Structure 1
Amino acid sequence: MPEGDTVWRQARDLRKVLEGQVLTSSDFRVPAYATLDLAGSTLTSVQSRGKHLLMYVAGLVIHSHLSMEGHWDIYPVSATGRAARWRRPAFTARAVLTTGQATAVGFSLGTLEVLPEALVSEAVGHLGPDLLGADWDAGLALHNLLDRPERAVGLALLDQRNLAGIGNVYRNDLCFLGGVHPARPVSEVPNLPRMVDLAKRLLEANKDRSGRSTTGGPAHGEAAAWVYGLAGKPCKRCGATIRYATLADPDFPVRAARDIYWCPRCQPD
């Protein structure tokens, strides 16, 4: 599940093969940009912003969001100019960017748009401080969360307008580490600054790992998480059975309710 650390890694890897390179071809497989041709243009910068990816080229910004299943794959181009075979179905490709060295293919992207640089704020200007960005500001993130003290902390942490980069895995395990049920109001969180600090530390610890672990253990299987995805399993701390439910966000009524997991003993309702 792509979260801020996943997108940070995607930007790092894309930067290595695209930044400063001239595009030999581009292919945008969405109707709005089907005729756009960026061949001959230099891609000058690749940046991550929370869960968003921004690629700057020829006065434009290729903006993508991975959503739940998106991914940018990188394929080397051989000496003869032939690209490697794709590992994912071609019909899921939404963007194909090729240089003399590599081909980057964006599969199953939740969002793909190409904007003038002057309008990039329309895509990411609403985001709060980026947990893995140069603009990280813990004080501002805390201020944003406390601006609505009655809101459920599990919803506030997921809201990218407060702080950018937390997804469902992190929000569930952060609530466990904070000893609070995800539906508990922000105003009742015993130590909110510590929770913000933990969010920063967890994403920093995982940004260079191929797999994610919030426990410090192996980045795969049940050992990788405290409560996320472990409904019916014993709590690693107290042994109580981990519970599962969904939590809808009134701020975004068209979005499906998201999964929550918690220990009824460590995180009382």
Structure 2
Amino acid sequence: MPEGDTVWLAAQRMNTALAGATLRRGEFRLPQLAALDLTGATVREVVPRGKHLLIRLADERTLRTHFRMDGSWHIYRPGATWRGGPAYDVRVVLATDEWECVGYRLHDVDIVPTCDEGSLVGHLGPDVLGPDWDLDEALRRLRANPDEQIGVAILDQRNLAGIGNLYKVESLFLCGIHPWARVGDVDNLQILVERARALMRANLHHPEQNTTGDPRRGREHWVFGRRGKACFRCGTTVLLGEQGPTTQERVTWWCPRCQAARSPIDPQARTGEPDHPQPVTLYR
């Protein structure tokens, strides 16, 4: 699923293309909205809210889209070939005299009065990348459920909005926190949240999501996507497990040495962690 920084960057590019312009084409290829035509509407602004994209119109309506796992917006000059996928994957087309914004495989496509945006995104916690970011409120929401696993809690958009699986596992690694630790047992919760936010802000203006500072292929991330490989810090084999409620599991990578459990871990946790993880030789 795209992280909040991906949605933020998409919103900036969409805003550059659409803000202040009148739509010459406003087409929906979804059964529930097929009869709706936004042609003639003027776009006021495009803003991100966590992982949601809000396209606000001058007539006080808001179009909300969500990427989920596979959605995306692509921007083309008029007449250019659309290359985001097959035509049957197109869900929304918003075109002006200068740009064509094409939404592929979008989810949660809704249009509501702008004053009712809260019905769509009001449940979200403070936006990690938003102008009204509130660290204290995010920490309050996280601490309200001290028995929750930290790897689940930090992904819960009701606690704080925008963090996805990549920044979850990378920030947990950098803070030395086991993904299955209880929220109540995490001493450096504020540092964890601030670290995740710092990583996201460092990647705001480009699509690449680098958390190590090393641009070489295969070294962009500390543990994300590195199952079975050597930890860059200690050489121990990086592990992979599933975490989250049934049917909502997310894969989680971690180093069992750098992120050794300092408190009891749920024995039913699907970690696949061996009793005695062995270090492996690092090749530089």
TM over 0.5: yes
Matches within 5 A, 1:11-26: 11-26=11-26
Distance 2:103 2:40 in 1: 20
Partner of 1:180: 177
TM-score by length of 2: 0.89
Give the AA of the match of 2:148. Answer: R
Q: Of Structure 1 and Structure 2, which has the larger fraction of its residues in helix? A: 1
Deviations 1:15-52 (A, max 9, x none): 01100000001110111110111111101110000100
Partner of 1:43: 43
Partner of 2:250: 258
Partner of 2:81: 85
Distance 1:40 1:265 in 2: 59
Partner of 2:186: 189
SS of residue in 2 equivalent to 1:54:
strand
Do residues 226 (structure 1) and 222 (structure 2) align?
yes
Distance 1:112 1:94 in 2: 9
Contact 1:68/1:110 (8 A) holds in 2: no
Distance 2:37 2:24 in 1: 10
Partner of 1:200: 197
Distance 1:268 1:221 in 2: 27
How far residue 256 of structure 1 moved from its aligned partner, in angstroms, is 2.9
Partner of 1:239: 235
Partner of 1:80: none
Matches within 5 A, 1:41-120: 41-57=41-57, 58-77=59-78, 83-87=79-83, 88-120=85-117
Distance 1:192 1:221 in 2: 31
Distance 1:164 1:151 in 2: 17
Give the AA of the match of 2:151. Answer: G
Q: Percent of counterpart pairs with the same letter?
A: 43
How far residue 92 of structure 1 moved from its aligned partner, in angstroms, is 0.6
Distance 2:29 2:129 in 1: 30
Partner of 2:275: none
How far residue 143 of structure 1 moved from its aligned partner, in angstroms, is 1.1
Distance 1:209 1:59 in 2: 31
Distance 2:126 2:242 in 1: 27
State the Cα RMSD in Å.
1.2
How far residue 217 of structure 1 moved from its aligned partner, in angstroms, is 1.7
Q: Which runs of 5+ in 1 are unaligned?
A: 78-82
How far residue 185 of structure 1 moved from its aligned partner, in angstroms, is 0.3
Partner of 1:125: 122
Partner of 1:267: 259
